[in-house]
Amino acid sequence: MTMRIRLTGALTALALLAGCGGGDGLGAALQGGLASLTGTGGAAASAAAAPAGTAADPATLRRVELATIGIVGTAQQLTASGGRQTFAGPEGFTYTLHDGMLVSTRGLSHDLMAADTRQSRAALRAGGGEALRVHETLDGLDRIVRSEFACTITARGAETIEIGNRQKEARRFDENCRGEGVIFDNHYWIDGSGRIVSSRQFVNLSVAYLRSSDL
Amino acid sequence: MTIRAMRRGGAASLLALLAAGAVSAQTVSDRGLSYTLYGTPGLIETPSALSAKDGQIAATVGAFDGQTRTTFTFQLLPNLSGSFRYTRIEDYTLPGQSVRDETYFDRSFDLRYRFNDETATMPAVAIGLQDFLGTGAYSAEYLVATKTFGDTLRVSAGLGWGRLGSHGGFDNPLGVLSSDFDTRPGLDFGEGGTFALDQLFRGDAALFGGVEYAPSETLTLKVEYSSDAYDRESELGLIERDSPLNFGAVYRPLPGVQLGASWLYGSEMALTGTFLIDPTERPYGPGLDPAPVPVRVRDADARAAQSWDRTAIPEATIGAALQQALAAEGVELSSIQLSDRAVRLRYTNTRYRSEAQAMGRIARMLSLGLPASIEQFTLEPMQRGVPLSAVTLSRSDIENFADVAGGTAALAQRRVLDDAGSAAGLAELPRIDDRFSWGIAPYGRITVFDSDAPFQLELGAQLTASYEITDSLVASGTFRQQLYTNREDPELVVAEEGEPHPVRRNAALYAKEGTTGIRDLTLAHYGRLAPDVYTRATLGYLEEMYGGASTEVLWKPADSRLGLGAEVNYAKQRDFDLGLGFQDYDVVTGHASAYYDFDNRFYGQVDVGRYLAGDWGATFILDREFENGWSVGGYFTLTDLPFEAFGEGSFDKGIRVSIPLDYVVGQPTRREASSTLASLQRDGGARLRVDGRLYEVVRDGHLNDLDDGWGRFWK
């Protein structure tokens, strides 16, 4: 499978919106007027305020890896709102985490269009349990295909993991999911505050797993 | 990596005859399918009762000793397939015709209907008509049953009439119904191309059958008993038919490719190659579209805002910024209407085949950039400067349904589709895109089916240019330079007694004399008279052979399955040299048209009116369209021109295929490749070829096309 994704189109547009292009336009409005007016500009504006090339707030960066298709690098947070964070990874792809759970990818051709991971997240909070997970993908006829997975979440105890260059103590959980024709295993590392600081989560059969960690 | 793909039997089995796994009734029919020399699912020369996967197209070339059959088989419906075949037979003439030392070319058409799915105990049973249109040289009818045993063995047996009843024939069992069935009348092919109804299932019947064995997933071995006596070919000394037994092997080196060799009738070596295309499987998956911008979710306070501060953000600033941002998505924003709680946009999507996908991208940009009080987004897509519809989305829905399972469907339910609103209230934005565009591209033209020159090729380069005087008034032209052709010098066709004026038959002369010339040069205007009523006027050199004026009006509400249109043209025949001059012939031609969008993915069209040669009649078109933009269909035209005056083929008919380019290249694009396999283009039932007829322009933004592409809203 070839995976050439160009940083064009939408992300160029985003750069424009985010004001990388110059003082005029919606980008400026977004950083200034629009953001302050809406009162929520924080996320978008912070992404905007840290254009590529300048030192970004480490809290908005992730290390991301899609081993199967050979994408590894740093992802920059684009927006964070409504509990969802969207990151732009290398080669123009983006992914969205909802409370740390992978709910979509874009720009990978075989994208995860959407996911319902609420039960899995609740089971992680509860220290383990059963969960039903739903993934949506796009088929050759542009129809949304819904796949359901029955998952078991199991606590694996504390582990010391490397986040950025630091060693960090985190609780590991494994999620074993079984659906029609597919079995996969997700891993999560959760810190003392209950936040997912590192994970390996299933995208689909073509892309396999996405690893995303704090930096 | 612990992904384990547990493929179920039949899920990936174009390749393997009976690949490992349970044989389930629903999937057995298209498993391990291979093709006959006639390009239909079956054994070597005889058919089986199997069907290909729904929608699949199989292109087969089969050849042996002086015969070449090129066949396209399309699985029209899960149980119904149609085949179109073009045949070349050296030194052949039809029965009853004098023996000539010439190569014979023929087109033929088959239909096959499968009654049932194979079950554990019941075989699949199908009925078929082979070459029932055209001159009938291959005509045969059959009933056939096919049963699969285990994972490797498949047996077919059938009863054939016509060619398939010519060896080992016995009295027609249908004779008990009526003595009419006992004898098959001789071929009265006239100009060909008509139904030979009085022949079907008549005359002697015979049994045929065979066995397929698959020792591996890539190899199938076959043996069959053929009931085709090859009477005429033997009579002409073309084939030595020593035995009714045929032996063959089919090898599948790659998915979608089948290569076969067989030993026919104890004397002939035959080769086949089949290439399969499945319109429902995209080679690049869902598409290499770049990632869109994310949705920004407002917090509760922001959602509650009733207005926004226009001194901080003037409306003009928003319009200009959005226009610039959307340009990066290939969306040209023409006008905008802003209020405290709502925004309305008119734009032209130049990149995405699916208008819904463009809407998804626009909606995300709006959620990211607009003041928080704006809750309602109304999107009015335009094509050729004409607004097609209005889709209203709530910003909260965009926020709530992004990245949420079920969100695509929920949004489809909650969107409001209407006719595009009026222009009142919209603030025009100055255009930032280029009004002038141009390009140079190669072109190629293949003309087949001409019995004198069965394969004519023309290659060259063309320069296209257009200038948008306004959004809806466009001047455009195409200039062609021919670089290569294998055409021999055509002769001027002049109408003989009783024949229509040669309105199309001199096509070859345009290719010969118009080596450098203007293919088209027009001024086109599009408009909207009323919310549901669209207009077009095109003036100039409309197509290669005709210039003049073309006017059209179409009624098509955005949420209606029915469209009604009318077109009136004045056309004057152009000089052969593709210069600016005209010949003497002119005609007023036009049609009243009805378009209907059946809910089972079939589109029908009927045009009634006057054709280029002045003949009156009607054209019937039926296309099967796939959600991803593929379309396969057929048409025929009957006019008051008698079949004898029409000439070869009796009346105009053909099949047509349209392939969206994004299917092929994986990148988003609105372009598509269309091709028509017409029967020989003659003068009866010929229509003017005008670019940009309204129905095709308008329907992209309407209900069914929006629904078809809706899955891409969040892509």
B509-525 pLDDT, tens per residue? 898 899 999 999 999 99
pLDDT tens digit sequence for A86-97: 999 998 899 999
CB contact under 8 A, A109 and B286: yes
Average pLDDT over residues B537-562: 96
Average pLDDT over residues B158-168: 94
What percent of chain B is helix, strand and coil (3-state, nearest 5)? 15, 45, 45
Written as six digits, the tokens of B226 are 């053929």
Write the single-letter amino acid at B660: P
pLDDT of B391 above 90: yes
From its phi and psi, is residue B278 left (phi > 0), alpha (psi between -120 and 50) or beta? Answer: beta
pLDDT tens digit sequence for B239-277: 899 999 999 999 999 989 999 999 999 999 999 999 999
ipTM of the complex: 0.84
List where CATH 2.40.360.10 sits in chain A.
Answer: 56-214
For residue B356, the chain A residue with the least C-alpha distance is A142
Which residue would you say has higher pLDDT here, B149 or A49?
B149
Q: What are A120-124's contacts with CB under 8 Å, separation 24+?
A: A120/A151, A120/A153, A120/A175, A120/A186, A123/A151, A123/A153, A123/A175, A124/A153, A124/A173, A124/A175, A124/A188, A124/A190, A124/A196
Distance CA B436, CA B505 (A): 36
With a pLDDT cut of 70, the percent of chain B lying above it is: 93
Please state the pTM of the whole predicted model.
0.86
From its phi and psi, is residue B140 left (phi > 0), alpha (psi between -120 and 50) or beta? Answer: beta
In chain B, residues with a C-beta closer than 8 Å to the C-beta of A68 are: 1
CB atoms within 10 A of CB B579: 14
- DSSP-assigned letter for residue B97: S
pLDDT tens digit sequence for B404-441: 999 999 999 999 999 999 999 999 999 888 899 999 99
Check: CB of residue B162 under 8 Å from CB of residue B140: yes
**Could you tell me whether strands B331-338 and B342-349 are parallel, antiparallel, or unpaired per DSSP bridges?**
antiparallel
Chain A with chain B: Cβ pairs closer than 8 A: 229
Name which of A180-194, B222-236, B242-256, B654-668 the model is least confident about.
B654-668
Distance CA B637, CA B676 (A): 14
CA distances from B363 to B340, B375, B680 (A): 17, 11, 48
Of A187, A82, A175, A84, residue with least CA distance to A133: A175
Written as six digits, the tokens of B341 are 């709680």
Check: CB of residue B325 under 8 Å from CB of residue B365: yes
SS (H, E, C) B122-177: CCEEEEEEECCCCCCCCCEEEEEEEEEECCCEEEEEEEEEEHHHCCCCECCHHHHC
Helices (H), B158-251: 231-235
Structure-token match 């899609």, residue found: A66
Check: CB of residue B429 under 8 Å from CB of residue B323: yes
From chain A residues 132-191, the ones with a CB under 8 A of any chain B CB are 134-144, 146, 181-185
Nearest to B312 among A12, A33, A88 (CB): A33
Distance from CA of A167 to the nearest CA of B (A): 25
pLDDT of A28 above 60: no
Q: What are the structural domain ranges in chain B?
A: 28-277, 300-432, 436-705
Give the model's pLDDT for residue B134. Answer: 62
- DSSP-assigned letter for residue B399: H
CB contact under 8 A, B318 and A109: no
The DSSP-derived string for B656-674 is EEEEEHHHHHSS--S-EEE
Name which of A43-47, A83-87, A158-162, A198-202 the model is least confident about.
A43-47
Give the model's pLDDT for residue B49. Answer: 95
Give the model's pLDDT for residue B584. Answer: 96
**Could you tell me whether strands B436-448 and A94-98 are parallel, antiparallel, or unpaired per DSSP bridges?**
unpaired
CB contact under 8 A, B328 and A9: yes
pLDDT tens digit sequence for B626-643: 999 999 999 999 999 998
- In CATH terms, the superfamily for domain A56-214 is YmcC-like (2.40.360.10)
Written as six digits, the tokens of B625 are 């369209």
- DSSP-assigned letter for residue B380: E
In chain B, residues with a C-beta closer than 8 Å to the C-beta of A92 are: 290-291
Name which of B133-137, B212-216, B374-378 the model is least confident about.
B133-137
Distance from CA of B150 to the nearest CA of A (A): 23
Of B632, B605, B608, residue with least CA distance to B621: B605
**Could you tell me whether strands A84-88 and A71-81 are parallel, antiparallel, or unpaired per DSSP bridges?**
antiparallel
pLDDT of B13 above 70: no
Selected for mutation to probe chain A from B296, B313, B408 (highest A CB count within 10 Å) is B296
Give the model's pLDDT for residue B180. Answer: 84
Exposed e or buried b for every residue in B512-534, given b needs 16+ CB within 10 A? bbbbebbbbbbbbbbebeebbbb
pLDDT of B30 above 80: no
Residue B201, φ and ψ in degrees, nearest 5:
60, 25
Give the pLDDT band of residue B536 (cuts 50, 70, 90). very high
Q: Which CATH class is domain B28-277?
A: mainly beta
Distance from CA of B451 to the nearest CA of A (A): 39
Outline where DSSP puts E strands in chain A: 61-66, 71-81, 84-88, 94-98, 101-106, 114-116, 129-138, 144-163, 166-179, 182-190, 196-204, 208-214
CB contact under 8 A, B5 and A205: yes
Give the model's pLDDT for residue B548. Answer: 97
Kindly report the CATH number that applies to the domain delimited by B436-705.
2.40.160
- Asked if domains B28-277 and B436-705 share a fold, the reply is yes
Give the model's pLDDT for residue B29. Answer: 54
Give the model's pLDDT for residue B7. Answer: 28
Distance from CA of B232 to the nearest CA of A (A): 46
Give the model's pLDDT for residue A34. Answer: 34
Distance from CA of B531 to the nearest CA of A (A): 29
Distance CA B665, CA A52 (A): 30
Nearest to A93 among B291, B322, B627 (CB): B291
pLDDT of B11 above 80: no
Q: How many CA atoms lie within 13 A of A205 on its CB side?
A: 15
pLDDT of A23 above 70: no
For residue A29, the chain B residue with the least C-alpha distance is B313
Give the model's pLDDT for residue B189. Answer: 57
Average pLDDT over residues A122-133: 96
Nearest to B291 among A34, A43, A106 (CB): A106
In chain A, residues with a C-beta closer than 8 Å to the C-beta of B308 are: 37
Distance from CA of A127 to the nearest CA of B (A): 23
Give the model's pLDDT for residue B420. Answer: 94
